[in-house]
Structure 1
């Protein structure tokens, strides 16, 4: 009799990545070459104090992307996230506190779930395949969108600190015209648009380029407050590359040039990071979540 052929081995499914945003839950399946093979989105359930609405939305997206129970899936959450314990510690926008997301997601999707923080996941994507690709040592990623937060990678590994690392948007300004406000209440893309009376940061940037004096003043204030927050980060962790993302970074050198100058003024004699705009846009966190799921299996 001919020998029995060995059993056919099914190739492991590539990980998918899901990013739970303040308004949209984004899911994607990346290809081996970094291209996005499939992209699915649904509205974020809010408020969602138990987290079960988010878990249901994640499970729905995962099914649309061809997920099978036990396949690797990375899920990036907003707010304060402790990846080590699997807990969503706090999300003011979505209304949860101390939700055991890793356990809830594993119950819904099976084993293979890797929990991460949206900004730290975005940093992983930008460091591996984005604007900081090839950078050594310390890389910082700061998305400036609805809010402001930072992620720090040390040799590719995110600094977590119980989920509290990088909350630079929560710094309270202690002097000047914005005394008593948080950094993100002044310098986020949303706050900049609101202060300038425009629909979004893109419109503010257009007004700045068009010579609108009021918009230019708002822009200068945003750069000043953002530089104030970033100076402490740069002085403390000395990133070789600082990637700026979010809606404000879409302005390119209109933001980055004065930000480079403002940081240099605040840190004379200190090594300046290379400051660049993010490459992956609003897919960074989902891409990074998929990468972290791939590494974990």
Structure 2
């Protein structure tokens, strides 16, 4: 693989797979194919850290030795500490993940919620590029993830998939997995999405909503059917959004650390 010493590395931890790739942040593109390794079972911090180390080693000749690394995780992250764990081992709860990985790898690490990373990716390189004001990205998958961005700045750890809508946790009625589980038509599913996005915009008043997740590959099936006042667009970075957003956040954080240390 050719060397890209200015690239940053993004790693996306999921319930079934851990994927990583170097990212050219000038254009927001992967500079090589992703490496995917099955998520270990059990997915303890130690076992997942071993996989992350494998991915970093795999790309050591592509990115420079001081390249920052962004890592996504399906959970709330506060100041580098994981606070919740969705679809991964509960041993992650209260794990100081950034410190653990920095000690292990000797690199600058940023750990971020997976939906937050996807939101940053879409803001800088995807469907929300150039958008000012309040942007909310939602990922429709097994559950509903969310990312809040204001004038290009991430407001982390929103949990808008858990809004109460008509007496129910929103993701229990409007996640993409529920459409398949209940064999909903696109019209019926879109009606549920309308209620969800109406509830979301009633408490946030966004300028733009970006809809990500697997369903974003078929926007014609549902997007025109959703009734709400906020402009809606489908995400464009697909499965690369988390990797790209994490790499972007890591590079930005490294620049800030450099300014503070100089």
Q: Which TM-score band (shorter chain)?
A: 0.7 to 0.9
State whether residues 121 and 244 of structure 2, in contact with CA within 8 Å, keep that contact through their aligned partners in structure 1. Answer: yes
Name which of 168, 173, 194 aligns with 2:160.
168
Q: CA deviation at 1:229?
A: 2.6
Name which of 49, 54, 69 aligns with 1:55.
49
Residues 1:25 and 2:12 aligned together: no
Aligned residue number for residue 88 of structure 1: 82
Could you tell me how far apart the structure 1 residues matched to 2:238 and 2:5 are?
A: 28
Aligned residue number for residue 14 of structure 1: 7
Q: CA deviation at 1:80?
A: 1.9
Residues 1:138 and 2:115 aligned together: no
Could you tell me how far apart the structure 2 residues matched to 1:273 and 1:284 are?
A: 22
Could you tell me how far apart the structure 2 residues matched to 1:35 and 1:288 are?
A: 11
Q: Deviation string for 1:114-138 (max 9, x for gaps)?
A: 1111111111110111001111111
Query: In the TM superposition, what are the counterparts of 1:159-198 in structure 2 within 5 Å?
Result: 159-160=155-156, 163=157, 165=158, 167-175=159-167, 181-196=168-183
Q: CA deviation at 1:238?
A: 2.1
Q: CA deviation at 1:69?
A: 5.5
Could you tell me how far apart the structure 2 residues matched to 1:174 and 1:244 are?
A: 21
4+ runs of 1 displaced by more than 3 Å? Answer: 67-70, 171-175
Q: Deviation string for 1:11-49 (max 9, x for gaps)?
A: 96421111111211111112233331122111112433x
TM-score scaled to structure 1, two decimals?
0.76
Q: Tell me the C-alpha RMSD between the 2 structures.
A: 2.0
State whether residues 163 and 200 of structure 2, in contact with CA within 8 Å, keep that contact through their aligned partners in structure 1. Answer: no
State whether residues 27 and 125 of structure 2, in contact with CA within 8 Å, keep that contact through their aligned partners in structure 1. Answer: no
Secondary structure of residue in 1 paired with 2:7: coil
Aligned residue number for residue 293 of structure 1: 250
Could you tell me how far apart the structure 2 residues matched to 1:147 and 1:243 are?
A: 16
Aligned residues: 245
State whether residues 139 and 152 of structure 1, in contact with CA within 8 Å, keep that contact through their aligned partners in structure 2. Answer: yes
Secondary structure of residue in 1 paired with 2:182: helix
Name which of 232, 238, 241 aligns with 2:208.
241
Could you tell me how far apart the structure 1 residues matched to 2:219 and 2:166 are?
A: 29
Could you tell me how far apart the structure 2 residues matched to 1:257 and 1:12 are?
A: 43
Residues 1:43 and 2:38 aligned together: yes
Q: CA deviation at 1:174?
A: 4.5
Q: CA deviation at 1:279?
A: 0.5
Secondary structure of residue in 2 paired with 1:91: coil
Q: CA deviation at 1:188?
A: 1.5
Larger Rg: 1
Q: CA deviation at 1:55?
A: 1.4
Gaps of 5+ in 2: 255-262
Secondary structure of residue in 1 paired with 2:143: coil
Aligned residue number for residue 235 of structure 2: 278
Moved more, 103-112 or 136-145: 103-112
Aligned residue number for residue 195 of structure 2: 228
